[in-house]
Amino acid sequence: MKVIPTGEVDRALLDSWGSLAGVDEVGRGALAGPLAVGVVVVDRECGPAPEGVADSKTLRPSVREALVEPIGSWARASAIGWASPSEVSSAGVTAALRMASLRAFALVKWQLQCGGHTPLGAVLLDGKHDYLSNPIPALFGADSTALPDPWETGPTALPVATMVKADLHSQVVAAASIIAKVARDRYMCDVRDPGYGWASNKGYGAKAHLEGLASLGVSSQHRLGWRLPGVN
């Protein structure tokens, strides 16, 4: 069932912080393809999200595509950050999420500065774990201290709130989920596919993908550090 976020969560955070970045990822559980993180930034003057904005998983592909442009017009800034399959393999999912997020935040920071908009006040992150603030070994492993500080001025400089299923409750996180989903789906449709069915399964473990793995083996788009069915 499709749930339309009311915006109450966003308004509460905007009342406290003035501007808000919603963050959501796509591709965490895929066997192939990159990991994409969407970031959408709004402030108090942006008003409600475009009609139809909801968790990307509940929307038809054509609806998601049609919402990308209105979301871009509504937001003060928006961007997609990417982590490649090899980065996911070598660094692990959590560190790759951080990499992709930092790349997206670098773009939105530049957009906000160029547009003369309110500096970013707070972040609402979909999920249970805060992988943006000061990295800890429990999430990132022993090399976590080598990961850069996303805010450049210390991990406590920007408040980060986490919320499980935030894309069901927050308009700005739902918007981030839509732009990330559309961008990653386009990538998986356009990338060279020798027979894994990526245009339909988007790199996840569907039957056609597993059959392709069994007959063709792995490709450069596969996450080689993972236990790929029928391969390792």
Model confidence at 132, pLDDT cuts 50, 70, 90, reads: confident
Does residue 155 register a pLDDT over 50? no
pTM of the model: 0.90
- The pLDDT, as a whole number, for residue 143 is 44
- The pLDDT, as a whole number, for residue 157 is 63
Beta strands per DSSP E along the chain: 19-26, 35-43, 77-83, 122-126, 160-163
Model confidence at 226, pLDDT cuts 50, 70, 90, reads: low
Q: How far apart are alpha carbons 100 and 107 in whole angstroms?
A: 11
Sheet arrangement for strand 160-163: 77-83, 35-43, 19-26, 122-126, 160-163
User: What are the boundaries of each domain within the chain?
Assistant: 8-192
What pLDDT, in 10s, does the model give residues 172-214?
A: 999 999 999 999 999 999 999 999 999 999 999 999 999 999 9
Does residue 31 register a pLDDT over 70? yes
* Fold designation for 8-192: Nucleotidyltransferase; domain 5 (3.30.420)
% of the chain exceeding 90 in pLDDT: 72
